[in-house]
Structure 1
Amino acid sequence: MANIKRYPWISHFLGSPTGYVVHLQKGMVRHQGVGQAFWFRPANSVLSEVPVDDQELPTLFHAITRDHQDVSVQANVTYRFIDPVAVSMRLDFGLQTAGKAPATGREQVSTIIGQLCQSHAIDQIATTTLAEALERGVSQLRLVLTEALRADARLQSTGIEILGVQVLAVRPESDVERALQTPVREQLQAEADRAVYERRAVAVERERTISENEMASQIELAVRRENLVAQEGANARRAAEEKAAAGLIEAQGSAERKGIGAAAEANQIRLVGEAAAAREAATMEVYRGMEQATLLALALKDAAGSLPNIGNLTITPDLLSGALAGLFKEPAATVEPTK
């Protein structure tokens, strides 16, 4: 932006690096260029500053397709001023003093380029259907507008160069756009549903596989448990059989030991009995040849060992005479056995 310092009857101008200044004094060009600095008299001078940097112009307009559908076109035009002197003479880029209306050069350029874009875009879209405009309208319009604006005689004579045209969007009305989007949305929804169903099917298949694996594991565990129970039963039976066999062997051994002990005891008793019988026989054989008085004395001797203690013994004459008579009585003759 240019800087102007004002003094009484004279002013100083200091230009900017992007503004091309044209100083006219009494209808003649006194100064022109970028970054100028000079003194001038406001009373007889006219200053115009034309931007020399690239300018961006967004534009939006409507058009009707061949099948009578309204579409909106959004575009952006890039341009620059290649002849600032011609531009300053054709358009209003004057530097106004404070309190006056600003220059309208930029608005004039926007109107000119916008009307040209709209005119050529309407002609192009009128030859296409809505589907064609939505499908290839952006690229077609970009080529048509670029060629038309660059070849426009008014822009060339004004000193405006079109650097490029970008068509950002070609869109139908909102309800038509929603109607056109519905089949695609339905298709996308169908694809999403199919993906969901496939994912659920995969999940169900995986769950079934997991359930089968769990069932197989349970069956395997049941089989192993059955084998374990059978093995434990077999081990228990074998242990019982071994214990019974050991008990039988121990019982047999005990019975044999008891039989041997009983036989030994019976043999001992038999031997003792035989010895006692032999002793008795020998004693009887000895007693057989003794006299009766001797036998009586021996009997009294044996009986005395088993009788209780006798404190007082009274012997009557009758008892003493009978005993003495028995002692001195002659023994009876021994009868020989008959052979």
Structure 2
Amino acid sequence: MASITRYPWISHFLGSPTGYVVHLQKGSVRHQGVGQAFWYRPANSVLSEIPVDDQELPTLFHAITRDHQDVSVQANVTYRFIDPVAVSSRLDFGLQLAGAGPAGGREQVATIIGQLCQSHAIDQIATTTLAQALERGVSQLRAVLTEALRADTRLLSTGIEILGVQVLAIRPESDVERALQTPVREQLQAEADRAVYERRAVAVERERTISENEMASQIELATRREHLVAQEGANARRAAEEKAAAGFIEAQASAERQGINSSAEANQIRLVGEAAAAREAATMAVYQGMEQATLLALALREAAGSLPDIGNLTITPDLLSGALAGLFREPAGGTVPASAAPATAGSTGK
């Protein structure tokens, strides 16, 4: 911003690097340029300062689409002054005294550019429907406004150059916008619900897979347990069979041993019996040629060997006479020994 130092009857002007000053004195240009510094007399001088940096102008206006829908257009125009002298001669950029109102040059430029933008935008939007305007109206309107503003003769003659046009938004009324957003919101909600359902389905599928894996594991464990039980039963049966076979073999061996022992014992008994029978036969053969008295004596001797000890023995006459009679009985052949004859007679006489 330029600074002015005022003195009595004279003032000093010091310009800024972005302000182009035009000093008119009695209708003639005395000083012009950027960053000027000079003295002047306020009584016969007019100063105009035109900004030479880029200027931003936001605009907002309404338009009607082909299907009679009201939309609001928000745009931003970037421009600059390329001919400050022409601008100062056609727009009011004069430096005012302290306490006076601001110059209206900027407002004039805003009005001119805003009206041009609104006019061309209304013509363009009137040829499109609301759906088309919302879908691709921003790019189309930007191209139309850029071309129209750059080719406008009034702006060119004034010394204004359009650097760029940005269409920020084309929006319908709030209720229409909500109505248009409803299908999309419903679709997005449906997509969200579908995603939730799919996620739940995936979770259920994973749970089912886990359950199937657990069931398969249990079935596998049960099958292995069944095989183990069957194997244990087979092992126990085989052990019992082996034990039974071993017991059978042992019993068979024991029976064979008992048979052998019995046969040996029977043979022994038979041999002993045969020996005893032979001995008895031999004894009987010896006894056959012996006398009765001798046999009786042998019998008494055998009996005496098996009788218990006798402390006292009483022999009656009857027993003694019978025994003696047996001793001296006549042999079966009728021949009596000579030594026995007197005893017999004596015994009989007695």
TM-score (normalizing by structure 1): 0.75
SS of residue in 1 equivalent to 2:101: coil
SS of residue in 2 equivalent to 1:31: strand
Contact kept in structure 1, 2:142 and 2:167, CA below 8 Å: yes
Are residue 81 (structure 1) and residue 81 (structure 2) matched?
yes
- Give 1:84 shift: 1.7
Greater CA drift, 122-131 or 36-45: 36-45
In 2, the alpha carbon distance for the partners of 1:171 and 1:83 equals: 37
1:255-296 CA-to-partner distances (Å, cap 9, x unmatched) read 333223222211111111111111122222233333444434
Q: 1:13 to 1:323 in 2, by over 3 A?
A: farther
- Give 1:151 shift: 3.2
1:109-163 CA-to-partner distances (Å, cap 9, x unmatched) read 2122112211232233334443444445334433332233223333233221112
- Give 1:304 shift: 3.1
The sequence identity of aligned pairs, in percent, is 90
Contact kept in structure 1, 2:62 and 2:70, CA below 8 Å: yes
Greater CA drift, 164-173 or 183-192: 183-192
Q: 1:28 to 1:311 in 2, by over 3 A?
A: farther
Q: 1:306 to 1:116 in 2, by over 3 A?
A: same
Q: Who is 1:334 aligned against?
A: 339
Q: Who is 1:318 aligned against?
A: 318
In 1, the alpha carbon distance for the partners of 2:129 and 2:312 equals: 171
Contact kept in structure 1, 2:15 and 2:36, CA below 8 Å: yes
- Give 1:214 shift: 8.0
- Give 1:303 shift: 2.8
Contact kept in structure 1, 2:71 and 2:170, CA below 8 Å: yes
Number of equivalenced pairs:
338
Correspondences of 1:212-231 after superposition (within 5 Å) = none
Contact kept in structure 1, 2:328 and 2:340, CA below 8 Å: no
SS of residue in 2 equivalent to 1:43: helix
In 1, the alpha carbon distance for the partners of 2:316 and 2:76 equals: 180
- Give 1:60 shift: 0.7
Greater CA drift, 182-191 or 268-277: 182-191
Q: 1:207 to 1:334 in 2, by over 3 A?
A: farther
TM-score (normalizing by structure 2): 0.73
Q: 1:286 to 1:10 in 2, by over 3 A?
A: farther
Q: What's the RMSD between the two structures over aligned residues? A: 5.4
SS of residue in 2 equivalent to 1:101: coil
In 1, the alpha carbon distance for the partners of 2:305 and 2:207 equals: 108
SS of residue in 2 equivalent to 1:314: coil
Contact kept in structure 1, 2:75 and 2:166, CA below 8 Å: yes
- Give 1:216 shift: 8.0
- Give 1:10 shift: 6.0
Specify every segment of 5 or more residues in structure 1 that has no aligned partner in the other structure, as ranges: none
In 1, the alpha carbon distance for the partners of 2:203 and 2:31 equals: 82
Q: 1:131 to 1:326 in 2, by over 3 A?
A: closer
In 1, the alpha carbon distance for the partners of 2:313 and 2:47 equals: 192
- Give 1:75 shift: 1.3
1:71-126 CA-to-partner distances (Å, cap 9, x unmatched) read 21111111001122232343333444554433333222212211221123223333
SS of residue in 2 equivalent to 1:228: helix
